[in-house]
Amino acid sequence: MDSPGASMAARVRALVAAHRGDRGALLPILHRIQAEFGYVDPDLVPLLAVELNLSRADVHGVITFYTDFRSGPAGRALVRLCRAEACQSVGAEQLVAHAEQVLGIKVGQTTPDGSVTLEQVFCLGNCALGPAGQINERVQGRLTPARLEALMVEAVHS
Amino acid sequence: MTAPVTVYVPRDSAALSVGADQVAKELERAAARVGRPIRLIRNGSRGMLWLEPLVEVVTERGRVGYGPVESSRVGDLVAAGLFDGADHDLCQGVVDQLPWLREQTRLCFARVGVTDPLSPEDYLAHGGLLGLRRALELPAADVVAEVTESGLRGRGGAGFPAGIKWKTVADTPGPLKFVCCNADEGDSGTFADRMLMEGDPFTLIEGMTIAARAVGAQEGYIYIRSEYPDAVRTMRRAIDVARAEGWLGADILGSGLRFDLFVRVGAGAYICGEETAMLESLEGKRGMVRAKPPIPAITGLFGKPTVVNNVLTLASVPAILADGAAAYRDLGVERSRGTQVFQLAGNIARGGIFETAFGMNLRELIHRYGGGTLSGRPVRAVQVGGPLGAYLPESGLDLPLEYEAFVAAGAMLGHGGIVVFDDTVDMAAMARFAMEFCAEESCGKCTPCRVGAVRGVEVIDRIVAGQDPDGNLALLNDLCELMTEGSLCAMGGLTPMPVRSALLHFPDDFTAR
């Protein structure tokens, strides 16, 4: 991957500056970076380390510890299906299998055309209305294969 | 010109997940079409989640509810006289009089679903700030004493007495102390923290401010998991409102108390619900569990004395201060005092929030209020207390809902999340999942958890495949014992609980097919 463009670097410096007074600012900064660019470019590690007076190992270690931070962009629709116990009790595994089959990818992958990224998640706090999923940040409940497909189509084209 | 009709449509994310936003839009459109002015309020959820989206209309009789409402039926409902509270097959009657709600004792959730979550006027009109005002009049030590005497125990799962924790922080001198709220509600089958933050955020703010007053803290953090974007938004807006109202900041309610509050968002790590991992994460680090001692009450966030409590623990405090410790202690049984917010989840016909005094029978809660399974099939297993809680067989449901009775039954009440499974569940698969989840979410600091969980999956696979079942069962038992005794925190330490309970109650599921 190329080193982050000058504009991205400048923007990241500005984000760091905005959180200068915060205690333990690395996580809020990483969230801001991901919200803005859709991912946290691994090439930002040295820059963040210098700006925050941390070692590169520390910054890399934090980014890779948390599953939310991705190293490359996600598909246009980010589909996360809950696989925790409550959703399993109402058919989450069958729903995941259906999504994998329809999309032709496995959990953790993005379709070759870049339209859908499929991920698993453990609990969205919608445990009485499962199976639950989250499509581009919006939680969905009582998902059926048909409803999931309709929501994915809608998300890809919106 | 007729006065506008007040209509409530929840903004709770569970309601949104089944179309509440579309219903709200359709209602406004239909109201305009029939020329009927309405005042639309987006409330929290009443917690009867099988009725969501639940539309409520204010009438002379009270708030009349309709649910579950699909947006395609709004036109039909309005034509049938929804705005006048008319009868319809979706009409549930006056919501406050529904037995499911009336038979609860709502302290924590008193305002959730009733008020506009971000309206300070609503909050005050429904008893908000009474607890904080009383706390500001009392000496700090008396506030701690009140919480101790109430018998309030941590609602996050461990059930540690809140007053003792607060006293430790209060007695530890230091120029800087923190109050941290653990809102990393990662356990499957739990959603009460989320619903409280989305439905009545000021209660949490008030509870944290009382804690700050009691222990002498100046700064507070609410650590909310990233899976809850709506709760994050609502909490942040509520904090802004509270600052503007003088409920937070340099001179709270003119008392001279200084306390400010910040929301921090997790990043998809279940382990950050463990209090020391949460503190590490708040410090901007990997969410690695700390060895205890030192305890967070003495050496907590950035090494300072820190109160760490769950959302519902802190949200219980305003009512305790407002009504007094005795009123709270009078509820419940044995050493489980007050109310617990139970969450009915999974394969359940009527899932949602049921807040009641400790002591109710688990079977009664599941069958009488929960209505049994959603699928209509027999209940086979119930997991109480999240992914680290035991699986109970149907024959073991006659348990009073209180901490010690569950411990005696080899189970854990935990956070009060109740996940129901019907007779199609494969308990060997659930046991395997418990180990798989632990392997996925372990922070990796201690070996029993990091390696043990991976080995656990492998051993269960061998048992189910019929490879030397006796030898491998003995090995699995050994492994469970080692994880229980040797892990640094509850993640590795309690993962054997679902595994062993599944083995104990459902041994046939583990034999080769």
Contact B503, B476 (CB under 8 A): yes
Q: What is the pLDDT of residues B265-280, one digit of tens each?
A: 999 999 999 999 999 9
CATH number at residue B36: 3.40.30.10
Contact B440, A123 (CB under 8 A): no
pLDDT band at residue A125 under the 50/70/90 scheme: very high
For residue A23, list chain B residues with Cβ-Cβ distance below 8 A: 282-284, 302
Is B1 a residue whose pLDDT tops 80? no
Average pLDDT over residues B176-193: 97
Please give the pLDDT value at position A3: 59
Domain-located, residue B195: yes
pLDDT band at residue B194 under the 50/70/90 scheme: very high
Pick from B228, B284, B383: CB nearest A24: B284
Residues B290, B432: one domain? no
Contact B414, B360 (CB under 8 A): no
Beta-carbon separation of A86 and B419 below 8 A: yes
Average confidence score pLDDT of chain B: 97
Q: What's the CA gap between B447 and B440, in Å, rounded?
A: 14
Please give the backbone phi and psi of residue B161, each rounded to the nearest 5 degrees, phi first. -60, 125
Residues B296, B308: one domain? yes
Average pLDDT over residues B244-254: 97
Q: Which two tokens stand for residue A51?
A: 């700006």
Residue B163: C-alpha distances to residues A135, B145, B151, B181, B326 (Å): 41, 7, 8, 15, 14
Q: 10 Å Cβ neighbour count for B326?
A: 11
Domain-located, residue B88: yes
Average pLDDT over residues B432-453: 97
Beta-carbon separation of A125 and B194 below 8 A: yes
Residues B265, B251: one domain? yes
Please give the backbone phi and psi of residue A114, each rounded to the nearest 5 degrees, phi first. 75, 15
At which of B305, B329, B353 does a domain end? B329
CATH number at residue B360: 3.10.20.600
CATH number at residue B232: 3.40.50.11540
Pick from A28, A31, A89: CB nearest B346: A89
Please give the pLDDT value at position B166: 98
Beta-carbon separation of A88 and B281 below 8 A: no
Q: Is A89 on the interface with B (CB under 8 A)?
A: yes
Q: Which two tokens stand for residue B97?
A: 């009089």
Residues B325, B201: one domain? yes
Count structural domains, chain B: 4
Is B68 a residue whose pLDDT tops 60? yes
Beta-carbon separation of B441 and A139 below 8 A: no
Average pLDDT over residues B364-375: 97
Q: Give the rounded percent of residues in chain B with a pLDDT score beyond 90.
A: 98
At which of B387, B422, B457 does a domain end? B422
Helix (H, G, I), strand (E, B) or coil at B393: strand
Residues B301, B388: one domain? no
For residue B420, list chain A residues with Cβ-Cβ distance below 8 A: 89
Contact B45, B15 (CB under 8 A): yes
Q: Which two tokens stand for residue A39?
A: 């991912």
Average pLDDT over residues B174-185: 97
pLDDT band at residue B511 under the 50/70/90 scheme: confident
Please give the pLDDT value at position A1: 44
Average pLDDT over residues A55-70: 98
Residue B386: C-alpha distances to residues A140, B308, B442, B495 (Å): 21, 20, 16, 10
Beta-carbon separation of B387 and A85 below 8 A: yes
* CA distance, residue B34 to nearest chain A CA (Å): 31
Residues B285, B226: one domain? yes
Place of tokens 């009438």: B59
At which of B329, B364, B379 does a domain end? B329
For residue A84, list chain B residues with Cβ-Cβ distance below 8 A: 188-189, 387, 437
For residue B52, list chain A residues with Cβ-Cβ distance below 8 A: 129
Q: What's the CA gap between A109 and B40, in Å, rounded?
A: 42
Pick from B49, B187, B440: CB nearest A123: B187
Rounded to the nearest angstrom, the gap between the alpha carbon of residue B430 and the centroid of all alpha carbons in its chain is 23
Q: Which residue of B has its CA nearest to A119?
A: B268
Residue A7: C-alpha distances to residues A11, A12, A80, B47, B433 (Å): 6, 9, 31, 47, 45
Pick from A28, A31, A89: CB nearest B347: A89
CATH number at residue B437: 1.20.1440.230
Please give the pLDDT value at position B513: 59
Q: Is A67 on the interface with B (CB under 8 A)?
A: yes
pLDDT band at residue B417 under the 50/70/90 scheme: very high
Pick from B193, B302, B351: CB nearest A128: B351
Q: How many helices (H) and strands (E) does chain B have?
A: 21, 17
Q: What's the CA gap between B275 and A50, in Å, rounded?
A: 30
Residues B264, B280: one domain? yes
User: Domain range spanning residue B235?
Assistant: 120-329
Q: Is A12 on the interface with B (CB under 8 A)?
A: no
Contact A155, A77 (CB under 8 A): yes
Q: What's the CA gap between A14 and A27, in Å, rounded?
A: 15
For the ranges B181-185, B203-207, B509-513, the lowest mean pLDDT is seen at B509-513
Residues B306, B407: one domain? no
Contact B346, B421 (CB under 8 A): yes
Contacts of B151 by beta carbon, 8 Å cutoff, 6+ apart:
B161, B325, B328, B329, B332, B335, B337, B338
Please give the pLDDT value at position A4: 66
Pick from B13, B226, B344: CB nearest A126: B13
Domain-located, residue B108: no
For residue A58, list chain B residues with Cβ-Cβ distance below 8 A: 285
Q: Is A27 on the interface with B (CB under 8 A)?
A: yes
Q: 10 Å Cβ neighbour count for B469?
A: 15
Q: What's the CA gap between B220 and B56, in Å, rounded?
A: 36
Is A7 a residue whose pLDDT tops 90? no
3-state secondary structure B444-492: CCCHHHHHHHHHHHHHHHHHHCCCCHHHHHHHHHHHHHHHHHHCCCHHH
Beta-carbon separation of A89 and B422 below 8 A: yes
pLDDT band at residue B512 under the 50/70/90 scheme: low
Residues B337, B324: one domain? no
Q: What is the pLDDT of residues A69-106, one digit of tens each?
A: 999 999 999 999 999 999 999 999 999 999 999 999 99
Average confidence score pLDDT of chain A: 95
Helix (H, G, I), strand (E, B) or coil at A56: helix
Beta-carbon separation of B348 and A88 below 8 A: no
Residues B317, B350: one domain? no
* CA distance, residue B179 to nearest chain A CA (Å): 14
DSSP secondary structure string for all residues of B261-287: EEEEE--S-GGGGSHHHHHHHHTTS--
Q: Is A127 on the interface with B (CB under 8 A)?
A: yes
Beta-carbon separation of B383 and A142 below 8 A: no
What count of residues does chain B have? 513
Domain-located, residue B104: no
Residues B50, B163: one domain? no
Q: What's the first-to-final CA gap in chain A, in angstroms?
A: 29
Beta-carbon separation of A134 and B227 below 8 A: yes
Q: Which run of H or of E encompasses B55?
A: strand B55-59
Residues B294, B397: one domain? no
Q: What is the pLDDT of residues B291-337, one digit of tens each?
A: 999 999 999 999 999 999 999 999 999 999 999 999 999 999 989 99
